[in-house]
Amino acid sequence: MRRPVERETIRVGVIGAGFGASVHVPALRRVPGVTVAAICGAHAGRIRDVAAELEIPASFSDYRELFESGAIDAVTIATPPHLHHPVALAACEAGLHVLCEKPMARSVAEARDMLRMAREAGVCHAVAHQMRHDPARHRLKELLDDGFIGRLHSVSVMVYRSALADPTRRTSGWLTDAASAGGVLSAIGSHYIDALRWWFGDIHWVAGAVSTAIPERAISGREGLLPVDADDNTAFVVRFSNGALGSVHISYTSAVDIGEEIIATGSDGVLIIQDNGRLFGARRGERIQNLLPAYVPGSGDRSGPARHIRAFSILVGEWILAMRTGAEASPSFDDGAKVQEVLDAVSRSQQLSRWIDLSGNKWPV
């Protein structure tokens, strides 16, 4: 076990003026015994304005200066994904506890390097798969652990969103750049892969593909429609360690925003999550019924930033508790690296036109 953090108030720095400012900061402020001591962004003028607006005492435009300042004990990283690896390594070298946004890295090699460094530095590490704390997903986990569906036979994830359907709607540059870990597979698929692993265990085989349905888009800060190479659609199949199958189909160019549906069926029952956090299910021989109470605290936060802030605050609370007790946080960098293995495997499967073995039975992964 690590040495527990004994400081009465843990000082956290946030790196990122976008999602970091809009979600990380308010979520951190919901957690007792935590103060947001600093915020860091690429543009000095803008980050000073953000700090003033959010009443954060210090601002930095260079994360290395923040880490050397002695102003923080821990850091959350909400930069574009291609910066996660260097920022996380620098934080570990500075002895700071780290919570990194998803996708954890651009490749499994980077993710494993981050995990190795965090372990060697003895810091508390976590990945921001906060959707584990969405009420419906959390309740589904409880029901699975109670044996509601018995032995898993099959699970499917279907997501149809219209967020990227309009090519003239300006999009963040990294999201459309494959080299920056942009694309629907990494940005959205990573959450579903983490959920599937959390619910059903390790994934041993993967086959899939990605596509770019809209090859030109308006990019924030640039003029006209520009070529993009990151995927906006993906579909893949997984086989879990117990032999059960799972399928994931994500489209962010749907003409109509239909939402998500997750169906898990097993030897004894079925569980269904539908859009806006609704959960249904039935045991063998029973009728489908609503499995969430009429009122779940926080369940009204079912969309937009409020949904993420609520879930992220619970995740941060567990990360802080792990710091104070010396325990391991969850989801950890180890979980993030396992998710990255699956992300990389989808791309390799498309390149090689075959299943990718992640079991480690034939060769280390």
pTM: 0.95
Give the list of residues 6+ apart from residue 172 with CB closer than 8 angstroms, or none.
18, 80, 219, 220
Domains in the chain, please, with CATH?
Answer: 10-131+311-332 (3.40.50.720), 132-291+340-357 (3.30.360.10)
pLDDT for residue 123: 98
pLDDT for residue 5: 93
Mean pLDDT by 10 residues, the chain (365 residues): 89 96 97 98 96 98 98 98 98 98 97 98 98 96 98 98 95 88 96 98 98 94 91 98 97 97 98 94 97 62 75 98 97 98 98 96 62
pLDDT for residue 25: 98
Q: How many CB atoms lie within 10 A of CB 297?
A: 9
Cα–Cα separations (whole angstroms), residue 267 to 147, 161, 203, 245, 284: 10, 31, 20, 14, 8
pLDDT for residue 295: 45
Cα–Cα separations (whole angstroms), residue 83 to 174, 206, 240, 346: 11, 27, 31, 22
